Amino acid sequence: MTSSQIFSIITFIYGLATILYIFSWIFKKKLPGKMATAVTIVAVLGNLTGIILRWIESYQMGIGHAPLSNLYESLIFFAMTIALIHLFIGFRYKLRFINVVASPIPLLVMAYASLPKVNDAIQPLIPALQSNWLITHVMTCFVGYSAFAIAFGISIMFLIKPSGDRTHTGIVSRIPDFDVLDDLTHQMVMFGFLFLSIGIITGAVWANQAWGRYWGWDPKETWSLITWLIYATLLHARLMRGWQGKKIAILSCIGFFAVIFTYFGVNLLPGLHSYQ
């Protein structure tokens, strides 16, 4: 079995976990939620196994490198990281709601990776990418992206939750209190901001090693900075201005739109960082 075949199977396993989490939330059943967590753990382990196998396959082809060098490989790692973080948050805060919000994201990411337009071939690295900085830079950036993705999901729930919902019944009434959502958004943004900062710094060091300059205003570099500034503004506004609630949720959504453009949008522009 090849790594690509494993990833195809894992996509369906993420889908099963999502269905079980949603079923558990809608019908207030604990067993499907526990099953969903177990299924997600299996999916993560399978995802990791596929990544390791793809790494081995690249060495067997004589072009050995960490499977983090193109769009397909980055999507696979992105999905696994999101799943790991939402599992941790679910265990840490005992909130199945977080799993319900976050579990569809790895499924969507894996589904996108399986599209014909996404090239899943193992390709040799160009000389500029042949560096030990590859793993550190890409991993830290995508850990940050994953935290921002979960913060985005929580922020959407904050924005759709009606105020004074104690009189409401049904699914919406099961969304946690505003204070819980606001605090979780803040923590996820702080976590993501730390790793994005490390990713930008390691990227600058790598750029100097590869191209002889730390910063060149490449589209990816520019939009990474824009994304960093948006989240820095969010954290500053909360710390220094006391912003909470809806304002923070809106900034979190804007920040994630910037993440999406940094990840996908810049591929439409000429530059050194375009994922193929």
pLDDT value for 123: 87
Residue located via tokens 């099953």? 35
pLDDT band at 153 (very low <50, low <70, confident <90, very high): very high
Q: Please give the angle made by the CA atoms of 160, 166 and 170, to the nearest 5 degrees.
A: 65
Task: Give me the pLDDT at residue 233, please.
Answer: 97
From CA 84, how far away is CA 44, in angstroms rounded?
7
Task: Please check the confidence at residue 206 and state whether its pLDDT lies above 70.
Answer: yes
Tokens representing residue 132 in the block: 């030990």
Q: Is the four-CA dihedral 210, 216, 218, 224 of positive or negative sign?
A: positive
pLDDT tens, residue by residue, 25-47: 888 888 999 999 999 999 999 99
Q: Which residues of 146-185 are buried (b: 16+ CB within 10 A; e: fewer)?
A: bbbbbbbbbbbbbeebeeeeeeeeeeeebbbebebbbebb
| The pLDDT of residue 273 | 53
Least Cα distance to 153 among 196, 97, 195 occurs for 97
What residues does each domain of the chain span? 1-122, 126-276
Q: Indicate the pTM of the whole model.
A: 0.92
Torsion of CA 196, 197, 202, 205, to 10 degrees: 140
DSSP string, 187-204: HHHHHHHHHHHHHHHHHH
As a whole number of angstroms, the distance between CA 42 and CA 64 comes to 27
Inter-residue contact 20 to 60 (CB < 8 Å): no
Structural tokens at position 214: 């730390």
pLDDT value, residue 216: 82
pLDDT at 192: 97
pLDDT tens for each residue of 94-141: 777 889 999 999 999 999 999 998 999 988 887 767 788 888 999 999
Residue 79 token pair: 């999905």
User: What is the pLDDT at residue 167?
Assistant: 55
Q: How confident is the model at residue 269 (pLDDT cuts 50, 70, 90)?
A: low
Residue with more model confidence, 163 or 244:
244
DSSP assigned state of 67: S
H-run or E-run covering 169: none
